[in-house]
Structure formats: structure tokens, C-alpha cells
Amino acid sequence: MFQDFKLVGDRPVAIQVKEYVKRLIIKGALQADQRLPSTREMSGLLQVSRNTVIAAYEGLEDDGFAYAIPGKGSYVAAMVGHLAAENGGTDGPAVWQIDWKARMNEYAVSAVELDRIKQGIRGKKGAISFTSIAPDEHLFDLGDVRRAFMDRMAIEGQVLLNYGYAKGYKPLIDYLMRYMENKGVDLSGKDMLITGGFTEGFDIVLSALRPSARRGAAICENPTHHTAIKNLKLQGFEITGIPMERDGMDVERLEAVLQKQTNRFDLAYLTPSYHNPTGIVMSPAKRSAVMKLMMRYQIPVIEDGFNEELRYSGAHVAPLIATAGQGNGVIYIGSFSKVLFPGLRVGWVLGDRALIDTLESIKRARTIHTSTIDQSILYQYLLNGNFDKYVKKARTEYKRKYELTKACCEAHLPEAQLSGDGGLHLFLTFPTGVNTRQLLEACTEQGVIFTPGDKFFIQEGEGTNTLRLGFSRVTDENIERGIRIIGQQARSFLKAKR
């Protein structure tokens, strides 16, 4: 014992001695209530001065790893981790073990089960991956981001680093309110909450609207954003999906579902522009029809502003919350994550003032407030005029890739029906019978991966013939090569079927 002590570097010797003995105690090499060598003995054993040992022992006592008995010496304190025998009555040393799996509730178990990232598709090293719809970081204008940070820190660094407000960073809220007003939103009676991205905003809204006494009921496009499906399920909602057509959800089906007397929906979740995963922009006629139905049945609409900024042709279609005028039935959740920088966790919830006031309290209870640094960088970046410049550049680049991907699909995957009016991905539907999970397996062998479409569908077994191709982070060469490989594999699948 005590022979492996070695002095290193320039840390105070007493601290090194203390840490050394502490480690022995933690490991169980020194037992509870065992007497430590006297300071004189220890000084000889470790080859350090006696005063050093005295200081080290005092430190151990301060830290709760030892205790002194006056006139007798220093003793090892009981480590709870080594007390199982004493408490449990079993023999030999044991440690305090809780079976955490058994303690997890339904919510926690579901969170793991529904965690697609953990069951994610992983390609071989060097594989061509169409699974991501994150932005291409090579487009990031790092200089402008740095400048935004430095500008803001110079103006109010002390404010940024101390506590902020649950509702959000005021200058950013004011800016985004104007931004939404420019999209045609009537701001009267409305307010805004800043969140750590779309997902937090969505989860907070659901946690407020989820009925207390029964399971919730939600309506949404089918397929739809898989994270939204996950969060709806986690919050206990039954989901009714409305099939997608070329120009948005099937309105007749929607009306039929709403008319059934047994159905009472707590909310609708809609992505009218660049819908994920289909990329479809809902037509003005359908928007109007859908909104009229939601109004007639008094169903609150959660609008996902996803990718609204990435339209490649024409002007923006107004968000649903704009067409609601002074009405308060739409909750708009926005984020620049797909357009700008996902690493900055900032999103916003725009809606009725009384609602936002409640959501603010929930936000405070959950996370106090969103990172002020993130919010202030985003604000200053917008204020400096970097946003328009960047979006222009990004849009040009993504449009080029979008057209390349589309052309490659048309050339190599003529069997598949394409959808996607913009954004960072295309959605493919194969003839029934082509199972895209099996196709993925074959493609993975060939070094190409993509996202099977079934995970975007509400019911198990739906969409097994679909897939999503995210192209934002794939090089031109790999887009061409990857899609050709998917095409080859798909054709052999189709041949085998016949």
C-alpha cells in the first residue's frame, strides 16, 4: 500500500497527497473506519514532509472522506457505496445499485422507443448519405456570425451573460414580430415566445393543450414530420392522418373525418409550405378550404413554418396565420434552423396573447429561458443585413442542387413518382410492392443510404414504398452517383417482383 504514489507537475504536494488517498478510499482499498497511517508514518511512506501530510489529512476531513478522533488519529469515513453489506445483510462488499430501467415511467420508455436517432441508419465509412436535411455548413458565413457576436457583446456583453427573460430577448422578439407582419400577419392581440427551436415550441404547445382527463386527439397531414409524430405520441395524442395529394391534404377526407360525431380534435398540426417529407406547398384554394373547416369545427391549428424561406420560384405564399387575419385560432411556430444555423437553438411561437402568456410560464418552468447568446447573435446577424444576403446565396445553391437531384431522379428512377416544390429534399413514391427498407439494405451494400419514408407515416405499414432524399449536404458528383446506384437497385427489385 502507498507505494504507487508519484508526484507530478506543479500542483501543490498536499493536494496531490489528498487526491491520492481519496482515490484509495473511493476504490475501497482503504476500508471504512480503518485508521490512516499516522502523519509521521505517512510522511516516510510517501517521501513528503509531515506538514504536507497534516494538510492533506485536513483536506480529507473537510471533504468528508476522513474523520479525526482526538488523540488517536485520522480514520477513513464510511463510503455509502461500500455499505451494502451493513445495510442489506449480504456478505462481502457491494455497492448501492438501483434498477433504473424498472423505475422509468411510460413517457421515458416511449421516448427511447420513439427515438429514431438511436435506431438511425448508419452507412459504411465513406457512404453517400441522403439522410440529412441539415444545411450545408460550407455555405455558412462564419465571418458575419463572428461579427454579429462581437458587435452585440460590445453593446451589452454584461446583459447577454446574465439572466434573461423566459419570453425571450426583447430586441429579437421585436424584430421577428415585424418579420411576421411583413408576411401579412395581423399582430393585434398576438404575442411571441422565443424557444430553443421548433421542437421545444411544439412540445410546450402540446403540453398545454393535451387534455388532462383523456387522451388527446390530433389531426395532421399523412405523411408528416416524424419528430412531430413522436412528440404528439409522447404527449399522449391519438393521431388521425389525412392523406396528401399533389397540392396538399385531401380536403374531402378531412371534411369526412371532421363530420364524424365521435371525433373531437384538440388540435391540427399542419405544414402548408415545403411540407416534410413530401416538399409540397399547399395550394391557396386548399389553404382556404382547410382553414374554413378548422374554423367551423373550432380546431386550433399549429402551423409549422418549416423551410418557408427556401422557396425557389415565385414569392412566398402567406402563412395560414396571415390568412386568419385578426382571428386567434392559429399558432405559428417558426425557426431558421434549416435556413441558417441549426446550432443556434432559436425558434419562435406566435399566437394569441393569452395563450403566449401561459406558454411563457411553462417555458420558464422548463428551461428558465433560451440562450441569450444564441438569440443575440441571431438578432444582430439579422440587424446587420446578413440574413437576406445569406438566404440569397443559400437559395441559389440549394436550387441548383434541387434541380440536379430532380433531373437525376427522372433519369435513373423513372418508376418513382417525385414530389417536392423546394426545400432541401425530394420525396419518392415507388410502385406498391417496392419495399424501401429492403431497397435501403441493398443500397447500403453499395455505399448509398437514404431515409425510408415509412417513418413519416402515422400508421405502421404505411408508406413502405416511399423514401426521402436529402441533398443539401451531398456533392454534385455524389448526388449523380448515389441516385444512379439507387436506380440500379430499384430496377432489380422491380424485375424480381414481376
The verdict on 354 binding a second copy (CB under 8 A) reads yes
Among 190, 226, 369, 468, binds a second copy (CB under 8 A): 369
CB 371 → a second copy: shortest distance, Å? Answer: 4
The verdict on 388 binding a second copy (CB under 8 A) reads no
If DSSP codes are grouped into helix, strand and coil, which group holds residue 4? coil
* Closer by beta carbon to a second copy, 372 or else 465: 372
CB 372 → a second copy: shortest distance, Å? Answer: 4
**98: which residues sit within 8 A by CB, 6+ positions away?**
none
Task: Answer whether 60's CB lies under 8 Å from 66's CB.
Answer: yes
- Grid coordinates of 104: 422509468
CB 162 → a second copy: shortest distance, Å? Answer: 5
* Closer by beta carbon to a second copy, 161 or else 411: 161
The verdict on 194 binding a second copy (CB under 8 A) reads no
* Closer by beta carbon to a second copy, 323 or else 475: 323
**Helix (H) or strand (E) segment spanning residue 244:** strand 237-245
Residue 138 is classified by DSSP as: G
The verdict on 106 binding a second copy (CB under 8 A) reads yes
- Grid coordinates of 278: 413530401
Q: Which one of 25-33, 407-415, 457-465, 480-488 is the stretch in contact with a second copy (CB under 8 A)?
A: 25-33
Site for a second copy in 438-497 (CB under 8 A): none
The verdict on 13 binding a second copy (CB under 8 A) reads no
CB 254 → a second copy: shortest distance, Å? Answer: 15
Among 41, 245, 253, 366, binds a second copy (CB under 8 A): 366
- Grid coordinates of 291: 382553414
Burial 398-426 (b: 16+ CB within 10 A, else e): beebbebbbebbeebbeebebbbbbbbbb
* Closer by beta carbon to a second copy, 290 or else 486: 290
CA 291, 294, 298, 302 dihedral sign is negative
CA 32 to chain CA centroid, Å, is 46
Q: How far apart are CA 3 and CA 479, in angstroms?
A: 62
CB 445 → a second copy: shortest distance, Å? Answer: 27
Closest CA to 223 of 490, 428, 440: 428
Among 45, 54, 121, 153, binds a second copy (CB under 8 A): 153
Q: Where are the beta strands (DSSP E) in 317-419?
A: 330-335, 347-352, 417-419
Among 43, 127, 148, 164, binds a second copy (CB under 8 A): 164
The verdict on 196 binding a second copy (CB under 8 A) reads yes
Distances (CA, A) of 456 to 251, 303, 306, 472: 20, 17, 15, 19
Task: Answer whether 73's CB lies under 8 Å from 35's CB.
Answer: yes
If DSSP codes are grouped into helix, strand and coil, which group holds residue 249? strand
The verdict on 147 binding a second copy (CB under 8 A) reads no
User: What is the pattern of x (binds a second copy, CB under 8 A) and - over residues 259-288?
Assistant: -------x-----------------xx-xx
Residues binding a second copy: what is the number (CB under 8 A)?
A: 128
Q: How far apart are CA 110 and CA 233, in angstroms?
A: 8
* Closer by beta carbon to a second copy, 3 or else 212: 212
Backbone angles phi, psi at 451, to 5 degrees: -105, 115
CB 352 → a second copy: shortest distance, Å? Answer: 5
The verdict on 182 binding a second copy (CB under 8 A) reads yes
The verdict on 322 binding a second copy (CB under 8 A) reads yes
Burial 314-323 (b: 16+ CB within 10 A, else e): eeebbbbbbb
Site for a second copy in 27-86 (CB under 8 A): 27-28, 59, 61-65, 67, 77-84, 86
* Closer by beta carbon to a second copy, 365 or else 411: 365
Site for a second copy in 127-146 (CB under 8 A): 134-135, 137-138, 140, 142, 145-146
If DSSP codes are grouped into helix, strand and coil, which group holds residue 289? helix
Among 17, 127, 166, 176, binds a second copy (CB under 8 A): 166
CA 166, 169, 171, 174 dihedral sign is negative
Instruction: Find where cell 432524399 sits.
Output: 469
CB 436 → a second copy: shortest distance, Å? Answer: 24
Site for a second copy in 204-243 (CB under 8 A): 207-212, 227, 230-231, 234
Among 12, 44, 243, 327, binds a second copy (CB under 8 A): 327
CB 271 → a second copy: shortest distance, Å? Answer: 15
**339: which residues sit within 8 A by CB, 6+ positions away?**
135, 307, 309, 310, 391, 394
Site for a second copy in 86-105 (CB under 8 A): 86-87, 95-98, 100-101, 103-105
Among 73, 123, 171, 342, binds a second copy (CB under 8 A): 342
Distances (CA, A) of 285 to 165, 248, 324, 421: 40, 10, 14, 17
* Closer by beta carbon to a second copy, 90 or else 438: 90
CB neighbours (10 Å) of residue 352?
A: 18
